[in-house]
Amino acid sequence: PPEPNGYLHIGHAMAICLDFGVADEYGGMCNLRFDDTNPTREDVEFVGSQQEDIRWLGFDWEGRLFYASDYFEQ
């Protein structure tokens, strides 16, 4: 998953297309999870930008948005 510490690059876009494409081909759903485990380098600007870019690529995670940090206490 992408880290929210910069803008998406072509490698991210390729992986995202593959992930969402496989989910679509097999009738599955694709979640969007940010690997936000390095708070010194992350910025909320990049979270929003990456979400916009993924929508621009034509994909929708339908509200299934997760953050790795959500599971720190588990």
DSSP category for residue 11: H
pLDDT (average), residues 43-55: 94
Which residue range(s) make up the domain with 50?
10-71
Domain membership of residue 27 (yes or no) is yes
pLDDT at 45: 92
Question: Residues 42-71, buried b or exposed e (16+ Cβ, 10 A)?
Answer: beeebbeebbebbeeeebebeeeeebeeee
pLDDT category at 28 given cuts 50, 70, 90 is: very high
The answer as to whether 51 is a domain residue is yes
pTM of this prediction exceeds 0.75 = yes
CATH number at residue 58: 3.40.50.620
2 falls within a domain = no
Q: What's the total number of domains in the chain?
A: 1
Q: Which two tokens stand for residue 63?
A: 């509200």
The answer to whether the beta carbons of residues 38 and 3 sit under 8 Å apart is yes
Predicted local distance difference test score (pLDDT) of residue 2: 74
